[in-house]
Amino acid sequence: MAAPNPYVSAQKHVDRVGKMLGLDESVIELLKKPRRELGVNFPVRMDDGSMRIFTGYRVQHSSVRGPCKGGIRYHPNVSLDEVRALAMWMTWKCAVVGIPYGGAKGGVICSPKEMSKGELERLTRRFTSEISIIIGPHEDIPAPDVYTDSQTMAWIMDTYSMSVGHSVPGVVTGKPIEIGGSAGREEATSRGVMYVAEEAARRKGLKMAGATVAVQGFGNVGWHAARLLHGEAGCKIIAVSDSSGGIYNAQGMEPEKIMQHKKKTGSVKGFKGAKDISNEEVLELQCDLLVPAALENVITKENAPKIKAKIIVEGANGPTTPEADEILFKKGIMLIPDILANAGGVTVSYFEWVQDLQFFFWTNDQIKERLKEIMTKAFERVFEHANGSKVDMRTGAYMVALKDVARAFELRGVFP
Ligand code: NAD
């Protein structure tokens, strides 16, 4: 069966929640479509002297609440509809945490794993030049996404700066610290996951110290989430997994030691004292907190009835299908949706941008304190909306986001 078109799914959420909120049909129509789309085809000189033509996109969904913000991904499966959906997602994410941005996303169709560093640099610099007519520190601020990283951001920042004749660190976030990056950016998404998990546990009357946790995915988000939930919140990490499979130990495991083992062997499997289990089993374990932090569509109508976690915190984007949402809600499992749960990343990106615009940098403690305040407040608002309307937290989050974007639009009015 073909995967659902992400743009169509994203539009369905807007239709459903827009109608619940009683928004005007024309406003719903506006929110369902990106404001601006740029498609580019451009040449890159390859290492063997040949020239290849690449296709890329930058889509700006909304700039009603502020400049557009969103990552750039390099992947062979990038499509215009995927970029549109991801751009829309960013609009809701920024609104849920109340940071003054609209959503955007970009992508280039390419296979970065098969390209040299030099080819990736030339591709990045040419793509930056192509989209420089719509990006800028006050217009649209890219960030890393799938297969782009702080080095990619450094090239974008340099290319843009060369074209205007002076350094413009605020044109991208997720940069290396040495050229205007922020403290705390790497672990920001996972730290946000921990803060909202703490809020959810409090509402459920569950103690974080000793709470059992299963984490799917041991990459950036999963690893830092396991590390922080264990080291700062005192949780017991009973299972983790990566693309090769999962490991389980009911007594709890130390994430640092799992990471050492993964660095040595290439996977989490075979970790001393733990039992190897399958990826499916990780999701279905008896635990207090389940953190999907790997892929989309992993919690479906097939496995949702078997999930025993009390709280699910979506570290990944889109891990739960709409059918599974319904089943989990009926079972009384509290699910903290991606547009709230993993918004810590874009929040610290916002901090980076603010610091870049002021050329004045904050300490890691200041970052943590401000992130906690924003995530906690956002959780409370979503929780109140969900409880007040007796709907799940995802619907509550969409209610908050759509309400704020629609209100901003109403206040600004229609030009001319
Ligand atoms: P990553 O590439 O660093 O890590 C992904 C992890 O998932 C890897 O450990 C990989 O082995 C594992 N994985 C792959 N297939 C798997 C499978 N079938 N079962 C279990 N594990 C599997 O990526 P990341 O940056 O950690 O991102 C993970 C998710 O979080 C993505 O959905 C991403 O969009 C989302 N996200 C990331 C950030 C961020 O700041 N990095 C912010 C918001 C959302």
For ligand 1, pick from 295, 313, 338 the residue to mutate: most ligand atoms within 8 Å of CB.
295
Mean pLDDT, the chain, rounded, equals: 97
For the chain, the maximum distance between any two Cα atoms, rounded to a whole number of angstroms, is 67
| For residues 284-299, average pLDDT | 95
Percent of the chain at pLDDT > 90 equals: 97
Contact in structure between 253 and 247 (CB atoms under 8 Å): yes
Rounded-to-integer distance, Cα 27 and Cα 357, Å:
33
| For residues 232-246, average pLDDT | 97
**Nearest-CA residue for atom 8 of ligand 1:** 219
- CB burial of residue 123 (10 Å; 0-12, 13-18, 19+): buried
Q: At what angle do helices 220-231 and 255-265 cross, to 10 degrees?
A: 150
| For residues 273-283, average pLDDT | 96
- Over residues 83-93, the pLDDT tens digits come to 999 999 999 99
Model pLDDT, residue 1: 56
Model pLDDT, residue 5: 86
Model pLDDT, residue 284: 98
pLDDT band at 9 (very low <50, low <70, confident <90, very high): confident
Cβ of 150 below 6 Å from ligand 1: no
Q: Which atom of ligand 1 is nearest to the CA of 242?
A: 21
pLDDT band at 373 (very low <50, low <70, confident <90, very high): very high
Contact in structure between 71 and 87 (CB atoms under 8 Å): no
Q: Is the pLDDT of residue 416 over 70?
A: yes
Q: Is the pLDDT of residue 296 over 90?
A: no
More confident site: 299 or 2 = 299
pLDDT band at 4 (very low <50, low <70, confident <90, very high): confident
Cβ of 267 below 6 Å from ligand 1: no
Q: Is the pLDDT of residue 340 over 80?
A: yes
Cβ of 294 below 6 Å from ligand 1: yes
Distance of CA 21 to the CA centre of its chain: 25
- Over residues 15-58, the pLDDT tens digits come to 999 999 999 999 999 999 999 999 999 999 999 999 999 999 99
Rounded-to-integer distance, Cα 335 and Cα 66, Å:
29
- 295's CB contacts (< 8 A; 6+ apart) are 217, 316, 319
Model pLDDT, residue 2: 66
Cβ of 295 below 6 Å from ligand 1: yes
Rounded-to-integer distance, Cα 249 and Cα 270, Å:
12
Is 262 one of the catalytic residues?
Answer: no
**Nearest-CA residue for atom 29 of ligand 1:** 316
Q: Which atom of ligand 1 is nearest to the CA of 189?
A: 40
Report how far ligand 1's centroid is from the alpha carbon of 319 (Å): 10
| For residues 198-221, average pLDDT | 97
Report how far ligand 1's centroid is from the alpha carbon of 222 (Å): 7
Q: Which atom of ligand 1 is nearest to the CA of 315?
A: 30
Q: Which atom of ligand 1 is nearest to the CA of 338?
A: 44
Q: Which atom of ligand 1 is nearest to the CA of 221?
A: 26
Nearest to 105 by CA among 189, 35, 169, 9: 35
Report how far ligand 1's centroid is from the alpha carbon of 146 (Å): 9
Question: Which residues lie across from 336 on neighbouring strands?
Answer: 313
Report how far ligand 1's centroid is from the alpha carbon of 221 (Å): 6
List the Cα angle 62/64/68 in 5-degree steps. Answer: 50
Report how far ligand 1's centroid is from the alpha carbon of 166 (Å): 35
**Nearest-CA residue for atom 13 of ligand 1:** 243
For ligand 1, pick from 69, 223, 242, 296 the residue to mutate: most ligand atoms within 8 Å of CB.
242
| Active-site residue, from 69, 105, 175, 262 | 105
86's tokens? 């991801």
